[in-house]
A = this chain, B = another copy of it.
Amino acid sequence: MKEKISIIGVGLLGGSLALALKKHGDLSLVGWNHRASSRKKAARLLPVAPSLEKAVEDAGVVVLCSHSSSMGPTLRQLVPWIQADTLIMDVSSVKGGVVEAVRGIPGIQNHFVPCHPMAGKEKSGPHYADADLYRGKVVFITPLPKNPHPLVRKAAGFWKKVGALPVVTDAKAHDKGVALTSHLPHLLAAALMHLYGQTRGKSPIFHQAVGPGFRDFTRIAAGHPAMWRDIVEINAGDIKSFLSQYRRQLAQLERNLGKGKSRYWMSFFEKARDLREKLQ
């Protein structure tokens, strides 16, 4: 019998998962969205269940793909409906809060393994779903303290099926990592868009001077506002610490500008280039 995979919240991430998993003949896919209009869109990608309960019953794997801050209540609701060996995963961007939120749900450690795929686009919704979204991307798995090893292995195996690279780590380390590499850059790009917005009315030159570099730098600022509002509030501590360090660096740059410090700037840009080239 085919293993049933339930995708709850078929948007960009859930829809892309559906497209990627469709290639596996041994899986039976079912989707569910809370809103009727979203269920209609989801139905273009995979069969949609008549209710949340029907969507998860008999499922081998349930993936919660909504970037919801209500993970605790949702999981509490699902647990009575699933099988003894059902694996549940989420895909949300901050993990410490999720680990906290599910604490105390009876038996949760036998089902739920928190996950975060480092994949996305600046466009939301199932319309932009892409079967290759996860290919070659890191997926962080931040197990609950009492998750059984086989359950974590099953989670890792699931992500490998869609071409992703699972990395098991601690929720706190994860949140610090993405604060630096994802949340801080998002704030910085959004702040530059605000400065641009305040300035562009003064002369047509500002719009004319927008080139490919500016576009690359600010691309992430087009991300989903509600998702980013949640992220910066949930992970505020780590983001604040990096933002503060970053601001001190900028203050130092400002002090050194226009002082004829040719060697300082050469070494500053050489170091930045060397670090960036190593990321290729």
Which residues of A approach B to under 8 Å, CB–CB? 118-120, 122, 137-138, 140, 167, 169, 173-174, 176-178, 180-182, 184-197, 199, 203, 205-206, 208-226, 228-229, 232-233, 236-237, 239-240, 242-247, 249-251, 253-254, 257-258, 260-262, 265-266, 268-273, 275-277, 279
Contacts and interface: CB of A to CB of B under 8 A. Distances in A.
A186 B233 CA distance: 28
Contacts of A189: 217, 272, 276
Contacts of A213: 120, 181-182, 185-186, 219-220
Contact of A191 (B186, B199, B232, B246): B246
Contacts of A258: 233, 236-237, 240
A196 B181 contact: yes
A268 B216 CA distance: 20
A222 B224 CA distance: 28
14 contacts: A138-B208, A169-B205, A177-B206, A180-B199, A187-B253, A191-B253, A192-B246, A197-B275, A218-B276, A221-B276, A225-B272, A229-B266, A240-B257, A247-B250
B181 A221 contact: no
Which of A189, A223, A229 has its CB near the most chain B CB atoms (within 10 A)?
A: A229
Copies in the complex: 2
Given A217-B189, A243-B254, A246-B250, A137 B265 contact: no
Contacts of A273: 221-225
A20 to B, nearest CB: 17
A209 B95 CA distance: 13
Nearest to A237: B258
B215 A279 contact: yes
A269 to B, nearest CB: 4
A222 B118 CA distance: 23
B225 A269 contact: yes
Given A182-B209, A190-B272, A195-B249, 7 more contacts: A173-B203, A174-B205, A180-B196, A193-B276, A221-B273, A225-B266, A247-B254
A244 B258 CA distance: 14
A8 B62 CA distance: 63
Contact of A208 (B177, B223, B260): B177
A264 to B, nearest CB: 9
A96 to B, nearest CB: 13
A145 to B, nearest CB: 18
